Amino acid sequence: MMKKVMLGVAALALMAGAASAEDVKLQLKWVTQAQFAGYYVAAEKGYFEEEGLNVTILPGGPDIAPEQVIAGGGADVIVDWMPPALAAREKGLKLVNIAQPFKHSGMMLTCLKESGVSTTADFKGKTLGVWFFGNEYPFLNWMSKLGIPTTGGADGVEVLKQGFNVDPLLQKQAACISTMTYNEYWQVIDAGIKPEDLVTFKYEDEGVATLEDGLYVMEDKLADPAFKATMVKFVRAAMKGWKYAEANPDEAAMIVLENDETGAQTETHQKRMMSEVAKLTAGSNGALDVADYERTVATLMGGGSDPVITKAPEGAYTLEITNEALK
């Protein structure tokens, strides 16, 4: 009888805990895929629940801008790249980076060798595919550094506004296209082009990499101690998820697949993506490296006549959340 009473008390305590779970809405930058494995792992393994959080993960897509979602109150925290986040901040949307799970950039230009590109000097006179919606900023800065105009002509490059696919390379509309190490590059390979027929330029190697896949919240929300405490719990659980995913990439990929309601992803692609994403999160405990931040700012301000941001931001990041979460 006593045992039943104890079980009843335990059940009530659990119910009380469940009732008081703090709701958090996380808006992803793109669709459900291994790029975001850490969050799905944290949910699947119960890391969020252990912190008393009820986290809803909202997939993104081509028509979803995380900055607009959080501005409209549709999310508490978003995954975003730093260039669009800082550009939005300069325009008045006060986003703040609270954690940086990705240490390295996965962005690169992938070129067909047969197009005559083997070094950056060969870009002149070529058509290059570039993603826009904030993703063009590192590219424009890179061309500015190389002294190559983006207005076409024999001494410049023709910029092709690239969709989120690899068609311009396959159809030979462009000599090079934008790819991520963990995604589009492999789409080119899967389309039948051999790695030895490609030349790749990693933004990281070219010294123009900017920070990707950080966690951002609205500045005014950080004035609320309760919200800050929730974010500390969220970041702690999320980083636990990321480190598990990094150490167990195949299992993490399968967790992502289970959460892909569209059924669009395949096991092969997600496992490969996760193994590449693990290289980008390696070396990060979640805390923003201020030197990486400053390099990103310098890159964005060095965009020639049309820089992404015109002045160094103030208050664009805080280390308070990770300092507390990673104790």
Question: Amino acid identity of 232?
Answer: V
The strand ranges marked E within 59-157 are: 77-80, 95-99, 107-112, 127-130
- Three-class DSSP category at 53: strand
What is the Cα–Cα distance from 282 to 273, expressed in whole angstroms? 14
- Three-class DSSP category at 206: coil
Is residue 201 within 8 Å of 113, Cβ to Cβ? no
84-95 confidence digits (pLDDT tens): 999 999 999 999
96-128 confidence digits (pLDDT tens): 999 999 999 999 999 999 999 999 999 999 999
The more confidently predicted of residues 103 and 13 is 103
Element (H, E) at 202: strand 198-202
What is the Cα–Cα distance from 210 to 228, expressed in whole angstroms? 26
Where does CATH 3.40.190.10 sit in the chain? 20-104+211-325, 107-202
Q: Which two tokens stand for residue 154?
A: 């024999």
Q: Which two tokens stand for residue 47?
A: 């890391």
Ranking 3-17, 38-52, 168-182 by mean pLDDT, the lowest is: 3-17
Give the predicted TM-score (pTM) of the model: 0.89
The more confidently predicted of residues 41 and 164 is 41
213-238 confidence digits (pLDDT tens): 999 999 999 999 999 999 999 999 99
What is the Cα–Cα distance from 289 to 279, expressed in whole angstroms? 17
What's domain 107-202's superfamily in CATH? Periplasmic binding protein-like II (3.40.190.10)
The pLDDT-based confidence of 190 (bands split at 50, 70, 90) is: very high
Q: What average pLDDT is seen over the chain? A: 92
What are the CA-CA distances from residue 113 to residues 119, 122, 212, 219 (Å)? 10, 11, 28, 46
- Mean pLDDT of all residues in 156-164: 94
39-74 confidence digits (pLDDT tens): 999 999 999 999 999 999 999 998 899 999 999 999
> Of 133, 187, 191, 204, whose CA–CA distance to 162 is shortest?
133
- Candidates 3.40.50.10610, 3.40.50.920, 3.40.50.300, 3.40.190.10; CATH matching 20-104+211-325: 3.40.190.10
> Of 98, 45, 81, whose CA–CA distance to 235 is shortest?
98
The strand ranges marked E within 87-149 are: 95-99, 107-112, 127-130
Contacts of 313 (CB under 8 A, 6+ apart): 86, 89, 90, 297
The percent of the chain in helix, strand and coil, each rounded to the nearest 5, is 45, 15, 40
Q: How far is CA 249 from the centre of its chain?
A: 17
Q: Categorise residue 21: left if φ over 0, alpha if ψ from -120 to 50, beta otherwise.
A: beta
List the beta bridge partners of residue 109: 178, 201
Is residue 36 within 8 Å of 101, Cβ to Cβ? no
CA end-to-end distance (rounded Å), the chain:
42
